[in-house]
Homo-oligomer: A and B are copies of this chain.
């Protein structure tokens, strides 16, 4: 298993902990009809490396996550019984991410966002989708499993995405779990933008607001929460600035534009969807690695898809 990301540990302590966690989650798993494949294995047989499903079970258990009856967090391609040789976390499982994962001998991608260009990953969302078919063939060639980790990721306490972004922006001293508002040392909107670009590794952003405005109370909503939740957050929290990943322009953008024209204070920074949540999946890899010491967990950034001109 040279050059493989999977390195089986000699630590029986870690292994026992894994089994204990797994057994404890049997009740929870029964609720959602997941098969606790290893539940009745003895320690001898459990020496084999974990499967995809065992790792999913471990994440739910270690995260204290209540199984969801309705969730987009399903296995999108491949088999839950597959032995895992290495794990990649990412935002979007792009062709680049899949090929790099395979190059690194990983065969399990945990992705925050869809694999097949629609929220429910329906393969017939567009008939005879040639790009989707080629992607499926590539995944099959590499025996790559993709599990979406979206609803559970945001259900972690703290939300792995907002925590990861706050961590990467060096804002943990101002971060409170379950709150979207961070009160940071005052700085201008221009300097805030510069700080976000530098700390999160973002090349371009879009803004509505006056760059000289002082910002202190910021509402941090990475990703695409939807206009209703974004606007509601501004109405209820009245932050100096709303920081998001993506908006519908006819919703949040026009609301903020009119608000500013009416003399309101809340400005808007749009980071881009992928780059706004990427630090969360990077943090999740750090979260997961110690719980799976025998499987290498790496984060691959899917990055900004755009050229800006």
A306:B131 contact, CB within 8 angstroms: no
Binds B, one of A80-88, A161-169, A255-263: A255-263
In A165-214, the 8 Å CB interface with B consists of 190, 193, 197, 204-209, 211
> A272–B249 contact, CB under 8 A?
yes
Residues of B within 8 A of A117 (CB): 227, 231, 250-252, 254-255, 258
Asked whether B227 lies within 8 Å of A309 as measured between CB atoms, the reply is no
Selecting from A44-52, A92-100, A152-160, A283-291, the interface stretch reads: A92-100
Contact of B207 with A306 in the complex, beta carbons under 8 Å: yes
- Cβ A308 vs Cβ B305 within 8 A: no
Task: Specify which chain B residues have a CB less than 8 angstroms from the CB of A282 in the assembled complex.
Answer: none
Given contacts A131-B259, A135-B258, A262-B95, contact A224 B248 (CB under 8 A): yes
What B residues does A138 contact at CB under 8 A? Answer: 262
CB of B119 within 8 A of CB of A250, answer yes
Task: Report Cα–Cα, A4/B114, bound state, in Å.
Answer: 54
Q: Tell me which of B118, B224, B231, B308 contacts A126 (CB under 8 A).
A: B231
Q: How far is the CB of A113 from chain B (nearest CB, A)?
A: 5
Mark out the residues of chain A between 108 and 166 whose CB falls within 8 Å of any chain B CB in the assembled complex.
Answer: 113-114, 117-119, 125-131, 134-135, 138
A10 within 8 A of B: no
Residues of the B chain whose Cβ atoms lie less than 8 Å from the Cβ of A250: 92, 113-114, 117-119, 224, 273
Within the complex, what minimum Cβ distance (angstroms) separates A115 from chain B? 9
Chain B residues closer than 8 Å to A259, beta-carbon distance: 131
Which residues in B have their C-beta under 8 angstroms from that of A204? 308-309
Q: Given the complex of chains A and B, what is the CA–CA distance between A135 and B228 in angstroms?
A: 18
> Does A253 sit within 8 A of B, measured CB to CB?
yes
CB distance from A99 to the nearest CB of B (A): 9
A-B contact pairs, 15 of them (CB 8 A): A92-B254, A94-B258, A95-B257, A117-B250, A118-B251, A119-B250, A125-B231, A130-B264, A131-B259, A138-B262, A197-B309, A206-B307, A207-B306, A207-B307, A249-B272
Q: Which 7 A-B pairs have the closest CB atoms?
A: A95-B261, A249-B273, A206-B306, A117-B255, A207-B307, A257-B305, A131-B259
